[in-house]
Structure 1
Amino acid sequence: MQELKGLETVVSVPTTGQQISDHILSAIAVGALPVGTPLPSERELAQALQVSRSSVRAGLDRLERAGFVLRRRGRGGGTFIAAGDAGELAGQQEHLATFRAERESLLDARAIVHGRLAHVAALRRTPEDAHDISAAAARYAQMDDPIHARSADAHFHHTIARATGNEELVRISVDLDRRINAGFRHDPFSPELFAAAQRDHAAIAAAIAAGRAQEAGVLCEEHFRATTMQPGSAGAEEDARALGDDTVGRR
């Protein structure tokens, strides 16, 4: 899968089954991989991590023994996150602290970068770009489950990045997305967040179409902080204090 490339930067080299399972456990512990989340296949994970399938299998086997993943065969089968032994997570505190700090830094970077991308897109967009961005916002609003909603959200923001006309900026945004999701698209999702994201997308699309660059940038950065960052994080607290020009000035 194309979106899984670059995942080798997430897990320390040399990667082992233990490291793979520890990373997934940390993602579960911080709520990044809720129960029911489907994982990529062993082949896709092995390709993304640039390791052998036996290493991936060893990591998943460990998680299955602890009850954190469930494997189903046949149509509709696959590997899914399950509710495991909470005691297993108790030994993950050091790894979890590192994972959480790295994730918060990446989320902060993504909010800032996408704010600037929306700003630039509003200055450079063509009529076709504006149409595509609005269409992507409308497509997101039609989604009715977390998996497809997350994919449609990624498409919306990717369309904005492409409207900058700068392939290097697109590459930076894609790289951040891959590192944050680590192969499992898992931004928070709830009916409330979904409704808020619909409103945000519509407002961002309208600002870009109208060429209101500053407004588009502020709206997009605040959108990422409000919908993906944990309350109480450094970036979220900073954003809560920021209004108008002050947000743009700190970038």
Structure 2
Amino acid sequence: MGRGRDRVARTEEGNGRTGTPDRLAPLLRPVRAGNGFEEALEQILQVVRLGLVPAGGRLPAERDLAERLGISRVTLREVLKVLQEQGLVESRRGRYGGTFVLPRTDAGGEDALRRRVAEVDVEDVLRFREVLEVGAAGLCAQHGLEPDGERRLRAALAATRDAPLQDYRRCDTLLHLTLAELSGSPSLTARYAAVRATVNDLLDCIPLLVRNLEHSQRQHTALVEAVLDGDADGAREMMREHCAGTAALLRGFLT
């Protein structure tokens, strides 16, 4: 990557500042009756924690969010009120208004983050992540993708390839979430989103290493090629190797 030290990937189709609905599709799904408020809150919290809508970006409009989640706008506003009270989003009025994600401010900064991470079973998280990721890659390659799925996967890869360094982790998360969603298992996608949020907390405790990101990008390319070629064994092996590289870095810095 010729400009690796300055840029590692360009935001897909210029939508990085707002977070388009398509990018949120893996996480925003109709909730079950009986726990509408709680499940809607969980889903939107995952969107924010994963950085799928970056700081300063706007969440989908209330009408769109309510339809995607299968809840009333009254319930949605209660959810958004909680997020505002927690300092995660703010509501703006006017022609360019909406609900905007606020910059992440962890009380206590890095020390507080490390204290939270200390309570995490790192090995359990890394192993569960590997099982889900390897399985998703294999399923995508084995069953093949529809033309729209191929387009989305290629676009997600392109986004990681040219993204600004500070935006790489978000684009990387989107690529992996896209693979999980294209596996065809909503349950896998939901569980991967949850474990990825924890993985991102772990990654926030270590530095972004350009050499590692360049190596990771080569693995991403080989992985996507294997999936698109229908090489299930190759896709699983490349994903396993990719997860192992991330795990090695996290163990080195955190354990």
**Shorter-chain TM-score tier:** 0.5 to 0.7
Q: 1:129 to 1:3 in 2, by over 3 A?
A: same
Deviation at 1:133, TM superposition (A): 1.1
CA–CA distance in structure 2, aligned partners of residues 183 and 4 of structure 1? 17
Q: 1:231 to 1:209 in 2, by over 3 A?
A: same
TM-score, normalised to structure 1's length?
A: 0.53
The 3-state SS of whatever aligns with 1:79 is coil
Counterpart for residue 199 of structure 1: 218
Contact 1:130 1:205 in 2 (8 A): no
Show CA shifts across 1:173-202 (max 9, x none): 112112333599667521112101210111
The 3-state SS of whatever aligns with 2:105 is strand
CA–CA distance in structure 2, aligned partners of residues 172 and 97 of structure 1? 19
Deviation at 1:108, TM superposition (A): 2.1
Q: 1:191 to 1:210 in 2, by over 3 A?
A: same
Counterpart for residue 4 of structure 1: 45
Counterpart for residue 32 of structure 2: none
Contact 2:136 2:180 in 1 (8 A): yes
Deviation at 1:130, TM superposition (A): 2.1
Match for residue 189 of structure 1 among 184, 201, 208: 208
Q: 1:188 to 1:104 in 2, by over 3 A?
A: farther
Tell me the amino acid that sits aligned with residue 102 of structure 1.
D
Tell me the amino acid that sits aligned with residue 134 of structure 2.
G
Q: Which runs of 5+ in 1 are unaligned?
A: 8-37, 39-43, 57-75, 234-251
Q: 1:170 to 1:83 in 2, by over 3 A?
A: closer
Contact 1:140 1:152 in 2 (8 A): yes
Counterpart for residue 30 of structure 1: none
CA–CA distance in structure 1, aligned partners of residues 165 and 107 of structure 2? 17
Identity %: 19
Q: 1:183 to 1:97 in 2, by over 3 A?
A: closer
1:161 and 2:180 matched:
yes
Match for residue 143 of structure 1 among 163, 169, 175: 163
Counterpart for residue 127 of structure 2: 108
TM-score, normalised to structure 2's length?
A: 0.53
- Root-mean-square deviation (Å): 4.4
Tell me the amino acid that sits aligned with residue 114 of structure 1.
E
- Runs (4+) of structure 1 moved beyond 4 Å? 80-84, 95-98, 182-188
CA–CA distance in structure 1, aligned partners of residues 163 and 200 of structure 2? 20
Counterpart for residue 15 of structure 2: none
Contact 1:111 1:221 in 2 (8 A): yes
Matches within 5 A, 1:223-234: 223-230=242-249
Q: 1:5 to 1:47 in 2, by over 3 A?
A: farther
CA–CA distance in structure 1, aligned partners of residues 250 and 199 of structure 2? 17
Deviation at 1:229, TM superposition (A): 3.8
Higher relative contact order (CA 8 A, sep 6+): 2
Counterpart for residue 122 of structure 1: 141
Tell me the amino acid that sits aligned with residue 160 of structure 2.
Y
1:170 and 2:196 matched:
no
1:152 and 2:171 matched:
yes
Contact 1:6 1:175 in 2 (8 A): no
Counterpart for residue 105 of structure 2: 79
Deviation at 1:224, TM superposition (A): 1.8
1:219 and 2:214 matched:
no
CA–CA distance in structure 1, aligned partners of residues 180 and 104 of structure 2? 33
Q: Which runs of 5+ in 2 are unaligned?
A: 1-40, 49-54, 56-78, 89-101
CA–CA distance in structure 1, aligned partners of residues 107 and 179 of structure 2? 32
Q: 1:202 to 1:77 in 2, by over 3 A?
A: closer
Show CA shifts across 1:121-165 (max 9, x none): 11122232222212211110111223x101100110111111111
Counterpart for residue 132 of structure 1: 152
Show CA shifts across 1:51-110 (max 9, x none): x759x9xxxxxxxxxxxxxxxxxxx987379888xxx89xxx9x68953x6123202210
